[in-house]
Amino acid sequence: MAEGVPMLEDVKDLLQELLGDPLLSDLPHDIESEEVRSHISKIKGHVINLYLLRPSSKLRVWVLHNATVSDLQKTVSRAIQRSSTNIPKTYSWRYFWKRHCLAVGSTMLLEQTKLLVHYNVKNNDNLKLTRRVRRRQVITNTTCSSSLSNSTTTRTKK
């Protein structure tokens, strides 16, 4: 265990040196590896800039060109969590995304695995958070009448 302590110190020193770099100085302290990759891609110009329209503000987020809806949701979740002080760290984003979705214009981004390119998401588009439309099972008259006729026929056979 004592061998790992100097290595941990070396990693911390290297991390502090990297965060001191002018290109990476604006990164938050709790950044994830995917966010570092997207930030480097942003510097290279390989990202899509998007704006999340909220009632109080307009949040800027960016994702890679080959990002999926799920990647965009993770990015939006992190951006909202960083910008809002009243959202707890243990907030259930999984529950939130079950009831809400992102929309670009009038197009709802419903399928998690689809690429943003399939939805025609372009650079500098505006995103909105909208409630998902619940699908309800529609019972037609033919289904009701057939189930009623089956129940009456079983009664008459007894």
**pLDDT the model gives residue 68:** 94
Residues linked to residue 131 through DSSP beta bridges, in sequence order: 100
Q: What is the pLDDT of residue 156?
A: 47
For residue 138, what is the DSSP state? Answer: P
Per-residue model confidence as pLDDT tens for the chain (158 residues): 456 577 878 877 877 777 677 766 666 666 777 777 777 787 888 889 999 998 888 999 989 888 999 999 999 998 888 888 888 878 899 999 999 999 999 999 999 999 999 999 999 999 999 998 777 656 555 544 444 445 444 444 44
The predicted pLDDT at position 151 comes to: 47
Q: What is the pTM of this model?
A: 0.66
Residue 90: the pLDDT is 84
Angle formed by the axes of helices 69-83 and 33-44, nearest 10°: 100
3-state SS of 60-118 is EEEEECCCEHHHHHHHHHHHHHHHCCCCCCCCCHHHHHHHEEEEECCEEECCCCCEHHH
Give me the count of residues in the chain.
158
In this structure, is the dihedral angle defined by the CA atoms of residues 131, 133, 136 and 141, taken in order, positive or negative?
A: positive
Residue 103, pLDDT score: 94
Using alpha carbons, select from 18, 94, 97, 109 the residue that is nearest to residue 63: 109
pLDDT at 117: 92
Q: Is 69 exposed, middle or buried (0-12, 13-18, 19+ CB in 10 A)?
A: buried
- From the number of C-beta atoms within 10 Å of its C-beta (0-12, 13-18, 19+), residue 59 rates as middle
Residue 49 in tokens: 């800039």
